[in-house]
Structure 1
Amino acid sequence: MPKKQIVHFNISKKKPKIAYFILVHHFPGQFKRLFKAIYHPESHYLIQIDQEVDINIEKGVKTFLEDYSSVYLLKSENVERGGYSMVQSQINGMKYLLNRCLKWDFFINLSDQDFPLKSQDFIFDFLSRNKEKNFIKIANQIKKKFDTLNRVENHFHEIGIGFSGIPYKRSFMKNVTWYVGGQWMILTRACCEFICHSPEVKKFEDFYRKILIADKSFFQTALMNTSFKETIINDDKRAVVRIVDGDIKLKPKTLTRADIDFLIQGDNLFARKFDERVDESILNILEEALDTDQITNNSNSIDFNLISTLTIDAKKSDLLDLETIINPSIQLPKPLLNGSK
């Protein structure tokens, strides 16, 4: 069992308030570790448990959450990976948090396979310096991901257990630049209100309901083709390593102890994905790093008014997507090299 985490809260009226939206799939133990690592009494936490999760796991998660304040449960839905239902789940989370009249400034979505790389005080400070910025991975679909345009051109029907097998072509929306990216984001409250209520976004909702992999393109296209374009930073603040796997072009690598140098460098706030069945020690190391505040802080020199760029090595790699930023590796602080807990 990992050592109990020592948490120090620095309460301040000036710090921005965060609303976390966490999806729980099949890793309840990891969810509990994630939740403890990001819990702060001034933040809000909306949890959605996957409808396919075993009833005993669901009960265990709910029992665990009873000891914490500012925690809310969103009704479980049938969410199809790659379908619009994943987009709808995020929008439902935003609407729930907005409709409860809670005081929060930023929306951050996570899953039970994520873990923070920075303390909550560090994240508060980062957000306070970027109050009107929205962080999400973006790539021009025609220029960078032309081979994925069939997702937009073809009409797919989500049927609850997958997608209809015979897609049919349809016309592109006019005067729209198509974008893709990832499903992870840090959005301002104003941006969430815009997504949930603006007529500018509504037309994209209607179109994307029948698109494959909508969860990795809807928010990018909707925001980059509307009045919020200038607030978008091409960076989701997540450390992810993507690898080739069979006929899947790229997929997130399950992170292990061998990836620790990559995880503790740079300015990423979170990392994914983890699987304690594969390597639990990496989570132990990160927990200890948060406890002792030994994760390197390189963000003070970052100008987030500039679009993120790639290093030369990253551009040459065939295993990385075009938006992944890999910085030169740094050495792990010696106290963390003495083994896991």
Structure 2
Amino acid sequence: MRLFRTNSSKLLSISTHRLWVLVFIITLILLAALSRSKFGDKFAGYGFKSQAPTRVPSKSIGYPPVFAYWICGSKGDGKRILRLLKAIYHPRNQYLLQLDAGSSEIERAGLALSVESENVFKTFGNVDVVGESYPLDKMGSSALSAVLHAAALLLKIGPDWDWFIPLSASDYPLITQDDLLHAFTFLPRELNFIDYASNTGWKERLKINQIVIDPNLYYRENTPLMYAVEMRTTPDAFKIFGGSPWTILTRPFLEHCVQGWENFPRKLLMFLTNVPFPLESYFHTVICNTPEFQNTTVNNDLRFMVWDNPTLTGEPQILKLPQYETMVTSGAAFARRFEEGDLVLEKIDQIILNRSANGVVPGKWCLSGPSKNNTDQEELCSTWGSNIDAVKPRSNGMKLRALLSKLAINGSVRTSQCLEQ
């Protein structure tokens, strides 16, 4: 590296262009350093840790559960992830944010800095950002690997959560967290929400005998799947089950999949490495081939989606404003797929979530509303207290609680889903 003396004539000879280049390079170095920050000693090499949790949620009968959210996106999704985080934020929950290898280190560092700049996230210390990432394809086994990796990290980060909820940057809630926490408070904590009766065309797309290769398992950049000409025989040691790839899973079941003593989850993972859309069959098959968990399924994923031809693509329609009424009356807790900045998201914020443009959704844990002197979009939850165990449900929460109770009472929790397919 060339060193410059503090000679005025030489300093003057440095052009403005070079100064800007130098500033830009220094900025890149700082952002890269931030993106390589650690979770702590336990997570060295995995990413950025915002802060240790400052308040531990109460855990006993009558208290709301704790959700562990994983929000994943790709290049250009940083702002969408941050907006989704604010729409589903509650200090009881745990959050893990991730951008895949389609994004840059600067984008990932920018997401981490955005989290660090929010006082509410710093106060409660329950938001983590993965700094180092890897490629994935939603149609391949790399997507399943990413989900299991996120579950493993959350099992290490937080010992108190009850349900794991994976979301993408194109998802958005149709209910507040106070309502969702209230609805789940009265459910047995061993229930797994897995939709076996979905119309996603999983049987047509899965094609167990077809062999695919997911290059994202060994390449550094996002790469499309490769399809082999050869075929293989159908397995007879176990039966394959499938449905919606979007699930809400319990901590005990994920512990069984990630670190359990039984070997079947790992055997199935090896088999599905070369199968298209493995997320539409992995958890379904594990739970149906494990007697310990067969009676823990609720045949509903609590998602609203509209499909054109599910046998050809792995993505539902983009949801628009005319579909608003259908969405909010569906009884779903989340909907997908939304475009960035769509007007339907603003309507959900205003009418359902009562969320300002840059704020989190207000709840029982807030102490104040917007200032009377501010006519602009001010945060609706600008100050907060220490009681993170109280929730204040509205009518949507009451309706969802009734729906979930009805699903359980009418026999949705049973082994029949594992026998009918």
When the two structures are superposed, what TM-score results if normalisation uses the length of structure 1?
0.78
1:242 aligns with 2:285: no
Aligned counterpart, 1:51: 101
**Are the equivalent residues in 1 in contact too, given 2:69–2:94 (CA < 8 A)?**
yes
Aligned counterpart, 1:281: 343
Q: Distance in 2 between matches of 1:145 and 1:50?
A: 25
Aligned counterpart, 2:244: 182
Q: Distance in 2 between matches of 1:182 and 1:64?
A: 32
Offset at residue 186 of structure 1 (A): 0.8
Q: Distance in 2 between matches of 1:125 and 1:182?
A: 25
- My pick for the range that moved more, 227-236 or 85-94, is 227-236
Aligned CA RMSD, in angstroms, stands at 2.6
Determine helix, strand or coil for the equivalent of 2:69. strand
CA deviations on 1:260-319 (whole Å, 9 max, x unpaired) are 111111321111111035xx21111111121186758533432222339xxxxxxxxxxx
Amino acid at match of 1:188: T
Aligned counterpart, 1:136: 194
Gaps of 5+ in 2: 1-56, 217-222, 356-393, 414-421
Change (3 A) 1:249 1:108: closer
Aligned counterpart, 1:315: none
Change (3 A) 1:27 1:145: closer
% identical equivalent positions: 25
**Are the equivalent residues in 2 in contact too, given 1:238–1:268 (CA < 8 A)?**
yes
CA deviations on 1:39-62 (whole Å, 9 max, x unpaired) are 111111011111111444323211
**Are the equivalent residues in 2 in contact too, given 1:238–1:269 (CA < 8 A)?**
yes
Offset at residue 200 of structure 1 (A): 2.6
**Are the equivalent residues in 2 in contact too, given 1:108–1:185 (CA < 8 A)?**
yes
Determine helix, strand or coil for the equivalent of 2:196. strand
How many residues align structurally?
292
Offset at residue 140 of structure 1 (A): 9.5
Aligned counterpart, 2:214: 158
CA deviations on 1:124-182 (whole Å, 9 max, x unpaired) are 122222222111222499xx8553452x1122222232233324222222243322222
Aligned counterpart, 1:233: 298
> Any residues of structure 2 matched to 1:57-206 within 5 Å, and which?
57-66=107-116, 67=118, 68=121, 69-74=125-130, 75-130=132-187, 131-139=189-197, 146-148=203-205, 150=207, 152-160=208-216, 161-198=223-260, 199-206=263-270
Determine helix, strand or coil for the equivalent of 2:243. strand
Change (3 A) 1:217 1:34: same
1:22 aligns with 2:67: no
Q: Distance in 1 between matches of 2:158 and 2:109?
A: 27
Gaps of 5+ in 1: 1-10, 309-341
Amino acid at match of 1:272: R
Determine helix, strand or coil for the equivalent of 1:103. coil
CA deviations on 1:219-242 (whole Å, 9 max, x unpaired) are 212222222121111211111111
Aligned counterpart, 2:381: none
Change (3 A) 1:294 1:243: farther
Q: Identify the structure with the greater strand proportion.
A: 1
Change (3 A) 1:145 1:41: closer
Offset at residue 259 of structure 1 (A): 0.7
Point out the structure with max Rg over C-alpha: 2
Aligned counterpart, 2:86: 36
Change (3 A) 1:54 1:100: closer
Aligned counterpart, 2:17: none
Change (3 A) 1:129 1:81: same
Q: Distance in 2 between matches of 1:249 and 1:41?
A: 36
Offset at residue 31 of structure 1 (A): 1.7
Offset at residue 101 of structure 1 (A): 4.8
When the two structures are superposed, what TM-score results if normalisation uses the length of structure 2?
0.64
**Are the equivalent residues in 1 in contact too, given 2:192–2:248 (CA < 8 A)?**
yes
Determine helix, strand or coil for the equivalent of 1:253. coil
Offset at residue 104 of structure 1 (A): 0.9
